[in-house]
Chain A
Amino acid sequence: MSGETSTVKRTLITPFNVITGMIVLVGLMITVLRFTKGLGAATNLSDYHPWGIWIGFDLLVGVALAAGGYVTSAAVYIFGMKRYHFAVRPAVLTGFLGYLFVVVALHYDLGRPWRLPYPFIMGWGTTSLLFEVGLCVALYLTVLFLEFSPAPLEWLGFKKTRNLAVRLTMVLTILGVVLSTLHQSSLGALFLIAPSKLHPLWYSPYLPVFFFVSSIIAGLSMVMFEGMLSHHAFHEKMDETHLTESDSLTIGFGKAASLVLAGYFTIKIIGVAAGNHWDLLTTPYGIWFLVEIIGFVALPCFLYAVGVRDKNVKWIRYTAAWTVLGIVINRLNISVIAFNWHLPAADRYVPHWMEIGISVFIVTLIILFYRFIVTRMPILYEHPDYQGGGH
């Protein structure tokens, strides 16, 4: 009798459930407050700082870290790295959930979220980079949905529709890369309009290129980092290929990440040189810039290389986590920390705890959805009916 109750308790009141439950509860409370009292009640946004972490983290970081989808499917289907085929589904799922929740989070930040389709209905503001971002994200979310659809269709047993979706793979992959190139870079280009507000070390005419190249790094690192988390949480869900090949994937992606980081480091230095801002490197903002460039670009580039040389999978995965943190810092630097750097401290923005609360809430929802899906659908293993089916 007492044994039974304790098993029931163990299955429901796990630390994971308690913590996520509390986060979701708080998130819902803030949601109610935000939509009944306005942005002013839940955020520290101001007329000087109209964009806070709901843009800086939820949108900019969210989109960058969801780049694993296009990076992995391009590697496998376009560049022919068929060995990594097993990694496409989890990467596409993360990409899909990432973009889906970017759009969800955007509803919190927009003044009138129900008007989100207005740019395409009311006024084609084609001179705005935000229009381009909106159009590409909307289209890419559709592409990701279609790319992801074989998994639920296999789960539900819709064979014909599933085969139709699989036949679209190549077209969707190419579309995905085109759209990702465009909106990843355009998120950086959003800030081209404000050279007088963004610190010169971060402002550069190359911002779109920086954002695109760093999105590749983010995508590669996120796939490796996620692999690490999945191996802890969903080990029993993985099939033989997933378990045996993931080490070679980590080494392969680690090599690629090291290479792209080296290129990214080079173009960031070229950015400083092009603006001739060397003198600013000794200022407090300059030192913070160096922390980003050396600590989160050059260092992981080197660490990845060492890990690949030693074939040290664990080392590479920790480096991936560090690199992901670097992407977070970079996007927050551009949107929040180095933005309006010239203003006195009193006019600067520090996020309200409720803003952080919503960001944590959104991340938690992504994890919950991911968990729900991988424990049910053929994501980390091949469905027995469709083995060797090519998707």
Chain B
Amino acid sequence: MGISRRKFLGWMGAAGMAATVGKSAAASSTGQFTGFPDSKAVLHDITRCIGCRSCEDSCNKVNALPGPDQPFSDLTVLEENRRTTSKSFTVVNQYSNTSKPEKPVFRKIQCNHCLEPACASVCFVRAFTKTPVGPVTYDPDVCVGCRYCMIACPFDIPTYEYDEPLTPRIMKCTMCAPRIEEGKLPGCVSVCPTEALTFGSRKDLIKMARERILNYPDRYVDHIYGENEMGGTSWLYLSGVPFHEIGMREDLGIKPAPELTSGALGIVPMVVGLWPVLLTGIYGMTKRKEKIASNEKAAAVSDTLKRANSEAAKKLAAAIEKERLDKEKALEAAEKRKEKAIREALEKAAAKKEEDAADSPEPDNKKVHTTDDTMRSEEDS
């Protein structure tokens, strides 16, 4: 039988006397979310579990799930390593006990109802809610069926109705949120015959668990699984064997799931804010570079043109100058030739004069005149 509220409160009274957790310590903590005040939780004392599967049976009935393939009284299924499915929100598995092989260990698996659930943080329609009471609930009316919650859950809890073509839902333990609201215990807790399951305020249950470890140090591993795992869960575990030996991961760390993605999410607004500035800047720089390049090109072209023009002018001037010089030279040459011709003619004439003077002096005068005429005509041309 499970525990009644009254009985539970009685225990708490006794536990409260022994447990002395300073209030100021909690108040001066670093702002870590340690759960809603007075939120409910369940303590699973694995050392008390006998693997009777009553909790599975009760869960099935309370949640109106389809009947099992094998009856819940059939304990042979314990030999397989099972997980939660869309038809069973909780399963009990059997593990061999390394220290006491004659006494196998049984562990119940169901949603741990994290304080800061991974499933809720990754759901893009906010189908999951961590209620202040404790349960993590799911709303199929908004679910799109992306199954990211199943990827995210570090405990492999959410399951899916793969054979449902039109209205598939995520299926998982609800901690019997509707029953809790009615003041009842969760289905599994209410039927546990060995009190391996205890329902109550999370803070009180942690105290109770500490006390059990303190009172029976040989019976328990000195660790409350779920107190800090993934930021803390609303399902707490006590075990007599190391938790990794009964399929519970001890490498999850104490960081709540949302912290894993908060960095990446935080960069988004920075990219939105700065990328356009950066890109426009690069665009502006490219434009400017292009403009400078085209300006430079234009300048180079005009410069080349100018240089070509001035060179052409120089060449022209030089050509004109050369022409002038050539002409002068030609004139000079002509003058020289003329002078030479005159000289020669005079010499010739003089020589002839001497000769004629020697022969007959009369025709000689006529000859000189002729020479004079020739010279005059030469000058005119």
Contacts and interface: CB of A to CB of B under 8 A. Distances in A.
A128 B260 contact: no
A384 interface: no
A41 interface: yes
Contact of A128 (B122, B147, B253, B276): B122
A116 B144 contact: yes
A359 B159 CA distance: 25
Contacts of A194: 151-152, 154
B290 interface: yes
A189 B286 contact: no
B147 A50 contact: yes
A125 B252 contact: no
Contact of B156 (A47, A119, A132, A189): A47
Contact of B162 (A38, A126, A186): A38
Interface stretch (B58-66, B200-208, B262-270, B342-350): B262-270
Interface in B145-199: 145-148, 150-152, 154, 156, 158-168
B275 interface: yes
Contacts of A47: 83-86, 150, 156, 158-160
A77 B147 contact: no
Nearest to A82: B290
A213 to B, nearest CB: 14
Interface string B242-261: 00000001011100011011
Interface string A109-137: 11111011011001111111111101000
Given A130-B122, A208-B264, 13 more contacts: A47-B83, A47-B84, A47-B159, A118-B142, A123-B142, A125-B123, A128-B124, A174-B276, A189-B264, A190-B151, A191-B151, A193-B260, A196-B252
Contacts of A109: 146
Given A128-B124, A182-B268, A196-B249, A80 B286 contact: yes
Given A50-B160, A78-B279, A178 B272 contact: yes
Contacts of A41: 163
Given A38-B165, A45-B162, A118-B125, A178 B271 contact: yes
A182 B165 contact: no
B276 A178 contact: yes
Contact of B279 (A37, A129, A177, A185): A177
A111 B159 CA distance: 13
B287 interface: yes
A78 B126 contact: no
Contact of B125 (A45, A80, A122, A197): A122
A347 to B, nearest CB: 8
A181 interface: yes
Interface string A167-182: 0001000100110011
A194 B253 CA distance: 12
B121 interface: yes
A41 B151 CA distance: 21
B165 A37 contact: yes
Contact of A50 (B84, B123, B150, B258): B150
A129 B264 contact: yes
Nearest to B155: A196
B283 A77 contact: yes
A37 B163 contact: yes
A294 B107 CA distance: 44
A48 interface: yes
Contacts of A174: 275-276, 279-280, 283
A51 interface: yes
A195 interface: yes
A35 interface: yes
Nearest to A195: B260
A365 interface: no
B162 A130 contact: no
B118 interface: yes
Interface string B79-98: 00001111000000000000
A16 interface: no
A250 to B, nearest CB: 22
A193 B122 contact: yes
Interface in B355-377: none
B146 A110 contact: yes
A192 interface: yes
B144 A118 contact: yes
A120 B251 CA distance: 36
Given A47-B85, A80-B289, A174-B280, A128 B121 contact: yes
A169 B377 CA distance: 90
Contacts of A185: 264
Nearest to A347: B83
B208 to A, nearest CB: 28
Given A174-B280, A177-B279, A178-B272, A111 B143 contact: yes
Which interface residue of A41, A116, A125, A190 has the most chain B CB atoms within 10 A?
A125
A389 interface: no
A244 to B, nearest CB: 22
A280 B249 CA distance: 20
A288 B69 CA distance: 40
B290 A80 contact: yes
Nearest to A117: B144
A35 B264 contact: no
B243 to A, nearest CB: 14
Contacts of B318: none
Contacts of B258: 127
Contacts of B267: 208
Identify which of A45, A80, A127 gathers the most chain B CB atoms within 10 Å of its CB.
A127
B127 interface: yes
B214 interface: no
Contacts of B121: 127-128, 193
A181 B271 contact: yes
A79 interface: yes
B183 to A, nearest CB: 30
B125 A38 contact: no
Contacts of A189: 261, 264-265
Contacts of B151: 50-51, 190-191, 193-194, 197
